[in-house]
Amino acid sequence: MGGLSLKRLTFFLLIALFLGFSSFEHCNARKGKHWRHKHNRAASASLAKMKGKSHGKSHHHGSSGSGSKPKPPSPPGKGHTGPKEHTPPPPPPPKKYNGGHSAVFDVLDFGAKGDGNTDDTKAFQAAWAAACKVQASTVVVPSEFVFLVGPISFSGPYCQSKIVFQSLKSNNSVELCPSLNTVYVSDLLQLDGTIIAPTSSKAWGSGLLQWLEFTKLKDIKIQGKGVIDGRGSVWWSESSLDDPRDDETDLIVPITKDSMNDSLDTPISSELSGKMPSIKPTALRFYGSIGVTVTGITIQNSPQCHLKFDNCIGVEVFDMIVSSPGDSLNTDGIHLQNSQNVLIHSTNLACGDDCVSIQTGCSNVYIHNVNCGPGHGISIGGLGRENTKACVSNITVRDVMMHNTMNGVRIKTWQGGLGSVQGVLFSNIQVSEVQIPIVIDQFYCDKSKCKNQTSAVALSGITYEKIRGTYTVKPVHFACSDSLPCMDITLTSIELKPLQERYHLYEPFCWQTFGELSTPTVPPIDCLRIGKPSSNRIQSSHDSCSA
């Protein structure tokens, strides 16, 4: 019996060892699979980096990476509470995108309809709120949809870094390309749709300064071929005669009364006059952000400015389009304020005000290879309004084509201002049918009357070279301050020929403008005073920008 028990005990021990070994192998296999999964994800990410990270490019039109196109959500059945309802459901788990290294949040999964009629603002907010918690996430706005989005602000101080706001599309989608920390819109997909603004006064209350706003972000990139449509005509037609105007009508005198009415009248009020608020919003605004890129998209028909950067450092805008009628009031293309290290290039800007407006606090701005027109040209200012201090420095504008604009390159300041503009280069500007190609106006006034004041924003170190083409009013208008004349104004290779249209033609005009002619000019700009002024007020420390 003892021998038998020993044999049975040995048999049970062998079985136990076999089962333990099998369990150990199974656990190791699971761990190995998990390791391989992590390893493959890392390898995919490394491969993506080796291929240039693809910058959000992908051949698929959905967010799952399966190659299937996103489908419009079907109407939910009775009692249905799935993720396609308009009321935002609980946040779904993020999908994976681009090799699995980016979490994707599709606005359709948060209740967006994308039918162009339903208000999708809450769905965009919900998608952003979820993405904000995940580092290197992507917010996807699919392509076959048109999204009606009301005033919205995407804020970044408490968000994870490198969040992507991506608009994927194939046919008719809109892309709001917002993002707070890097907005990628796949440049391999055609973004042909639009995000549209509401045209009901109820959506705007008493008035707002912006429609789509991105604040306090880092490394933001908006990229794509979609359209952001402000539907601003309802605002333009209701513009009051008291709105600030940029006509400088004293410089431009039409030949006939009829042409004056055609060119200088404000838009006729519509039957809806008085219903929209007087404060008109900017379409897309970035505030307090570092490392902002906007490329590929179209912004059109903004109620006021199309694209604005306030208090931003490190901005690049390229391969994008701004499109609004030439008579749309105060619709600047790109507006810069208190922003440094800005690069704008390879862009088409057509609007009803300045193609690019550079305001106080801007430095190290480089603009090149830009098409401007219609519009009011590229302007520095107006600066110094209501006796404020303005500082602008190191501005380069070159390789620009302007057609049918009010001005070419312009600097404008109000009387009574303080500060300075210095270190400005305008080079290789081709003008066609431009009213006044070169303008300095230190008596700028957007009202019917402005009082004379002695203090001024000082202008110095302004260079104009290779500015050629045709004008319709006058080639050059330099109107500088009596107390602070313009100094170090250099003109080189200026060739401007008149094109008689509907305006009187004038000779070059200069007032208190000092500098040099490096080469003969066409026409001769004999009014420029060579050298420096005999007496010039020295700026005190409180109004100098060097402090």
- Looking at residue 449, its pLDDT comes to 83
Provide the residue type at 265 as one letter.
D
Name the residue with higher pLDDT: 1 or 523. Answer: 523
pLDDT in tens, 500-530: 877 789 999 999 999 999 999 999 999 999 9
Encoded tokens for 155? 């804020």
Contact 448, 412 (CB under 8 A): no
Q: What angle do CA 486, 492, 496 make, to 5 degrees?
A: 95
pLDDT in tens, 135-194: 777 777 777 788 999 999 888 766 666 665 655 543 322 232 333 233 332 222 223 357
Region 437-465: mean pLDDT is 93
Burial state string for 18-45 with b = 16 or more CB within 10 A and e = fewer than 16 = eeeeeeeeeeeeeeeeeeeeeeeeeeeb
Give the list of residues 6+ apart from residue 226 with CB closer than 8 angstroms, or none: 141, 143, 167, 169, 173, 174, 175, 176, 177, 185, 191, 192, 193, 194, 195, 297, 298
Domains observed in the chain:
153-169+190-235+277-530 (2.160.20.10)
Question: What's the predicted TM-score (pTM) here?
Answer: 0.76
Region 305-313: mean pLDDT is 97
Encoded tokens for 283? 């379409």
- Looking at residue 91, its pLDDT comes to 57
- Looking at residue 249, its pLDDT comes to 63
pLDDT value at 58 more than 50: no
pLDDT value at 35 more than 50: no
Lowest mean pLDDT among 148-157, 184-193, 242-251, 473-482: 184-193
pLDDT value at 338 more than 50: yes
pLDDT value at 461 more than 90: yes
pLDDT value at 45 more than 80: no
Region 323-344: mean pLDDT is 97
Instruction: Tell me 25's DSSP state.
Output: H
Please identify every residue annotated as catalytic: 353, 376
Name the residue with higher pLDDT: 110 or 247. Answer: 110
Name the residue with higher pLDDT: 76 or 150. Answer: 150
Encoded tokens for 303? 């109620």
